[in-house]
Amino acid sequence: MLRRDPTRIELRADDLVDFERSREEYLESKAKLKDQHRKFRSATTGPPPTPAGRDLRSTTASGSGTSSGVNNSREPRPDPFEIAQQERKGKSTAERVLARATFSTYSPTCLAAVHDGKVAYTADKFPHLKRDHSFKKLSEKDISYFKSILASSSITQDEEDLEIFNSDWLRKYRGQSKLVLKPSSTEQVSKILKYCNENRLAVVPQGGNTGLVGKVEKYDKEMQKQMLHATHNAIYFITGGSVPVFDEIVVSMSSMNSIRNFDPVSGALVCDAGCILEVLDKYLEERGYIMPLDLGAKGSCHIGGNVSTNAGGLRLLRYGSLHGTVLGLEVVLPDGTILDNLSTLRKDNTGYDLKQLFIGAEGTLGIVTGVSILSPKRSKAINVALLGLNSFDQIQATFKRSKDELSEILSAFEFWDQEAIKLVKEHLVAGAKDPLQSTYPFYVLVETSGSNKDHDDYKLNNFLEGLMSDDIVQDGVVAQDTTQIHNLWAIREGIPEACSKAGAVYKYDISMPVPVLYKAVEDMKERLVSKEVIGDGKLFTSVIGYGHVGDGNLHLNVAANEFSQEATNLIEPFVFEWAAKHAGSISAEHGLGVSRNNHLHYSKSPTMIQLMIKFKQLIDPNGIMNPYKYLPDV
């Protein structure tokens, strides 16, 4: 029988007054936050910025020192108990969040010194990051324990070998890990985490380390393909999420790489987290299926890493995000508990959908060891057309029409601008031959995938003819064979690499409603032009825009001659504020990692961030999982 829980206090009229007050408090904190931003912006002219945030941070730290919560030994870490205590002392949650948010505004973007060989340590580039001294330093005893549970070939301590795991492919992030473990079973992962949790050893889970938010592994493809892959991988590690910051232990999933089960009727695939995306795709290809996600990095990235970063990529428009296609996960929690949720059910409305919490958690809540994913049927007929257009309005008109006329066979709708094609032509052999006769301000790549080529051809031809005769599209080409399809895609996939060859590139990955998508590029350009910092011999060389129109996702790249604080201050936080103002997200598919975590408040409310911190506290009370990342520094 259901009964009212007598321990719960009944609602009284006074409580309503309290609610009203907390609402006021919240609004007030928002206003304060805005004020702090304004102050900060006016203060950014002098290096290095010392806004009020610095002081607030120390207040926070000393405040937590008085707490007697679980985290007593680890002062800088926030704690719900501690927060509750503070609130009791008259300091509101809103103020604490405000403190955090204010501090974050001057979080530096990485000023990489890539030019002279060795990459600077992430810790040096992000001076506000301090090693958490509550984490134990690795000792011989720890290593002998790991030797007792793992084969000797699964333990890497050699300095040169470690370098691969300590840096990302973009050579933007560099950690100082002294130990890499490569468990080959879920049980081993469980034992490792249990030990690390009990001994307060910090851990960084690593997949293929291709992410732009922070992971890297070796590429086994021929050079050019490698670079193409790498550049796309870059998407997931641009924010430094899978690379250690200090001496965290790297747990590499590369040895857990078997396919556990495939159901040829439903298309449900169950596999280890360390399976390489391309290997899975090849496996499914033989069975007439396809992985629901595709990335330039597919030759090296792991499915577990894809899930942990909620990788988007080229097929998202068609098959949706991993939040929809992942059917279940097997996760090892920080205390070693194995959470077996490897369901293959499409429908399961029982209880909280826990797996969703781990998708895109960037390894901060545990290590994904197994993935159950729904694979769609592989399309038999694929067509690709490249179009040249005069304005972003024409792109939108084309997109609208493609949804009308191509509808269910539309599988990709990508765009790039003139600056992007210019760089591809300058820097890449693959894109050297421009398929169109003359240049256009905008380019669109449309892909269709269907089951019947005649049907698809008919639809695509009608669609393209309509666009031409209505003067929406100026010119275009249609790939006549698979080689041409690859070559057209190579232009789009080559843009990130071409940009990185153009100099120091500030990369932003923002999402927003499609109508304002390109306005971000124009506004950025206008800002830099009005400040007279763009052009020959100036600070910046170009502003490049490309991305997934279908997903409202813009990759905004700002190319500078070199990374500098001055350059950073000109584009940040402008770009984040721009995204927030236009109801967008500051990180559409690149995640947060170590470089975007302090910008989270531009996309999420204090209430939401607070709840996230509580989840983290609940699942990882010692904070050993992928520390210094994802959630705002405190």
Binding residues vs another protein (CB under 8 A): 380-382, 385-387, 433, 435-437, 453, 461, 464-465, 468, 473, 475-484, 486
Shortest Å distance, C-beta 161 to another protein: 16
Toward another protein, which CB reaches closer, 24 or 465? Answer: 465
Shortest Å distance, C-beta 445 to another protein: 13
Q: Is residue 586 within 8 Å of residue 507, measured between CB atoms?
A: no
Shortest Å distance, C-beta 42 to another protein: 52
Numbers of helices and strands, H then E, in the chain = 22, 18
Query: Tell me, what DSSP letter sits at residue 539?
Result: S
State the Cα torsion 315-321-322-324 to the nearest 10°: -120
Toward another protein, which CB reaches closer, 7 or 483? Answer: 483
E strand intervals along 191-325: 203-206, 212-213, 237-240, 249-252, 259-262, 268-272
The span from the CA of 94 to the CA of 29, in Å, is 6
In the chain, what is the straight-line distance between the N-terminal and C-terminal CA atoms, in Å?
A: 45
Shortest Å distance, C-beta 469 to another protein: 9
Toward another protein, which CB reaches closer, 21 or 282? Answer: 282
Residue among 281, 247, 220 at smallest CA distance from 136: 247
Shortest Å distance, C-beta 536 to another protein: 33
Toward another protein, which CB reaches closer, 164 or 381? Answer: 381
Residues paired with 544 in a beta bridge: 557
Shortest Å distance, C-beta 457 to another protein: 8
Residue among 451, 431, 434 at smallest CA distance from 383: 451
Toward another protein, which CB reaches closer, 484 or 585? Answer: 484
Toward another protein, which CB reaches closer, 476 or 627? Answer: 476
Toward another protein, which CB reaches closer, 43 or 485? Answer: 485
Toward another protein, which CB reaches closer, 5 or 481? Answer: 481
Rounded to 5°, angle at Cα 596 from 593 and 602: 135
Residues paired with 276 in a beta bridge: 302
Tokens of 355: 């797996």
Toward another protein, which CB reaches closer, 476 or 552? Answer: 476
The span from the CA of 157 to the CA of 162, in Å, is 7
Shortest Å distance, C-beta 463 to another protein: 11
The span from the CA of 121 to the CA of 531, in Å, is 32
Residue among 312, 284, 456, 455 at smallest CA distance from 382: 456
Toward another protein, which CB reaches closer, 136 or 378? Answer: 378
Shortest Å distance, C-beta 223 to another protein: 20
Shortest Å distance, C-beta 455 to another protein: 14
Query: Tell me, what DSSP letter sits at residue 112?
Result: -
Shortest Å distance, C-beta 513 to another protein: 29
Shortest Å distance, C-beta 446 to another protein: 12
Shortest Å distance, C-beta 102 to another protein: 53
Toward another protein, which CB reaches closer, 268 or 382? Answer: 382
Toward another protein, which CB reaches closer, 129 or 386? Answer: 386
Sheet holding 367-374, edge to edge: 259-262, 268-272, 367-374, 326-332, 338-341
3-state secondary structure of 186: helix
Q: What is the radius of gyration, based on Cα positions, of the chain? A: 25
The span from the CA of 551 to the CA of 411, in Å, is 11
E strand intervals along 282-376: 326-332, 338-341, 367-374
Toward another protein, which CB reaches closer, 274 or 328? Answer: 274
* H-run or E-run covering 447: strand 442-450
Tokens of 145: 């324990």
**CB-count exposure of residue 205 (10 Å: 0-12, 13-18, 19+):** buried
User: Buried (b) or exposed (e) across 517-536, using 16+ Cβ within 10 A?
Assistant: bbbbbebbbebbeeeebbee
Shortest Å distance, C-beta 411 to another protein: 16
